[in-house]
């Protein structure tokens, strides 16, 4: 499996506000996939944008992934709640499943995605 080339997600990651999100597309195993990154508690985390319940995108296309409590990524379809740092589903119809995490790298102020984390499942 050949890793995808690094993809620049943001020219200036400092502009990603706390609980803010950004959508992007990357290629995994030759297939274009929707993905997103969020800032949460100062860190930036990225996942394939595919809920583990019905493989639908978590957001409505607006890059909003948190509800008002800002303590979980929430799927807009049936309310699955995922830990923002790990992608593990803590409640909802797919509790115990996990979003596919992506590797990020800061290069100066630029945010780059390096593809799937080595230990992550499809």
Interacting stretch for ligand FES, rule CB under 6 A, among 4-12, 24-32, 40-48, 70-78?
Answer: 70-78
For residue 73, state whether it binds ligand FES (rule: CB under 6 A): no
State in angstroms the smallest separation of the CB of 81 from ligand FES. Answer: 9
CA–CA distance, 86 with 25 (Å, rounded to integer)? 20
Residue 91 interacts with ligand FES (CB under 6 A): yes or no: no
Chain-centroid distance, C-alpha 12: 18
Asked if 37 contacts 26 with a C-beta cutoff of 8 angstroms, the reply is no
Q: Which residue ranges make up the site for ligand FES (CB under 6 A)?
A: 51, 53-54, 56, 75, 77-80, 92-93
């Amino acid at each position: 499996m050949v890793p995808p080339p690094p993809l620049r997600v943001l020219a200036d990651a400092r502009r990603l506000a706390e609980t803010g999100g950004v959508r992007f597309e990357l290629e995994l195993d030759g297939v274009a996939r929707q993905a997103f990154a969020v800032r949460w508690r100062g860190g930036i985390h990225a996942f394939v944008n595919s809920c583990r319940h019905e493989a639908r995108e978590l957001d409505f296309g607006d890059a909003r992934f948190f509800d008002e409590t800002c303590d979980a990524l929430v799927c807009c379809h049936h309310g699955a709640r995922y830990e923002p740092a790990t992608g593990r589903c803590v409640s909802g119809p797919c509790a115990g499943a996990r979003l596919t995490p992506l590797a990020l790298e800061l290069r100066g102020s630029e945010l780059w995605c390096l593809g799937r984390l080595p230990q992550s499942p499809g």
